[in-house]
Amino acid sequence: MNLLKSLLILISFSCFVSCSKKDDAVVTNDLEGFTLVTTLNNNTHKIELYTTSGKFQTGYNEIYVRIKNAQGNTVNNATITWTPTMHMMGMTHSCPASTISKNKGYIVFQMAGTEEEYWDLKVNYTIDDVAYTVTDTIQVAASAKRVVETFQGSDNNRYVLALVNPVKPAVAVNDISAVLYKMESMTSFVVVNNYTIKIDPRMTGMGNHTSPNNVNLTQGTAGMYYGKLSLTMTGYWKINLQLADATQTIVKGEAVTDTNEGSSIYFELEF
């Protein structure tokens, strides 16, 4: 009987170790291509935040969230939400932030932080019906190129438009994607549906020439906007933008013409 009991204990322990290793392997796999940015701490957990660039920066940031308990083990059954907040001039505002699914989500920072004007991030999470929270300041740097636009449209709505891809542009017809949000209040942003993001890429240092085979961005899966961006040579490209609503009325941005070299809203790429 004692031998049988010992065998059962050994089998249970082996299963626990095996399952733990499997879970760790899955998490490690999910983190491929991500670099730790910062760790938020409370009395019970460490909340690790990862991005592909290894930092938070203005524009679109894909973020992986990993929670570890006091023993250093990864927690895989947490339900997580977050709230980014900018503190500036005695007031606060937020920014577009997705839901978190399978520990991944994204945040679109419209502006960089400084010592006087700074971002913090509040993370709420639930594990086995127990609620936890942590809030701490985070560093947000300015992106090297213009990858996010915040503006008021002719319809009096305020919008946030951010470039998602291409992260590594090539001399080719590239897949281009972006996210588009409407600002309902200082703390509320909603995905805009059924608009069109018109693009006109130009090489400003090469006679402002354009390129063929571009396809304007329209809404696809998960609310994101997708199109095709033709880049015919390496160098600096200005991606002129026009935002059209569901009726194809232009609410922001101007067409490039012989007398107008660029739109008032645009993205930048250089490679």
pLDDT tens by residue, 221-265: 889 999 999 999 999 999 999 999 999 999 999 999 999 999 999
55-109 pLDDT, tens digit per residue, is 999 999 999 999 999 999 999 999 999 999 999 999 999 999 999 999 999 999 9
CB 69 within 8 Å of CB 107: no
CB 163 within 8 Å of CB 60: yes
For residue 218, give the amino acid letter: T
Q: What is the pLDDT of residue 166?
A: 98
Q: Using pLDDT thresholds of 50, 70 and 90, give the confidence band for residue 26.
A: low
The backbone region for 168, taken as left when phi is positive above 0, alpha when psi lies in -120 to 50, beta otherwise, is beta
19 secondary structure, DSSP code:
H
Phi, psi of 87 (to 5 degrees): -105, 120
Q: In this structure, what token pair is assigned to residue 148? A: 């996010």
Task: List the alpha helices (DSSP H) in the chain.
Answer: 2-30
pLDDT(20) > 50: no
Q: What is the pLDDT of residue 221?
A: 87
Nearest-angstrom CA–CA distance, 155 and 158: 9
Handedness of CA 245, 82, 72, 118 (dihedral sign): positive
Q: What value does the mean pLDDT of the chain take?
A: 93
Phi, psi of 26 (to 5 degrees): -65, -45
Q: What is the pLDDT of residue 23?
A: 52
142/13: higher pLDDT: 142
**What average pLDDT does this structure show over 25-40?**
86
User: For residue 200, which of 264, 104, 248 has the smallest C-alpha distance?
Assistant: 264
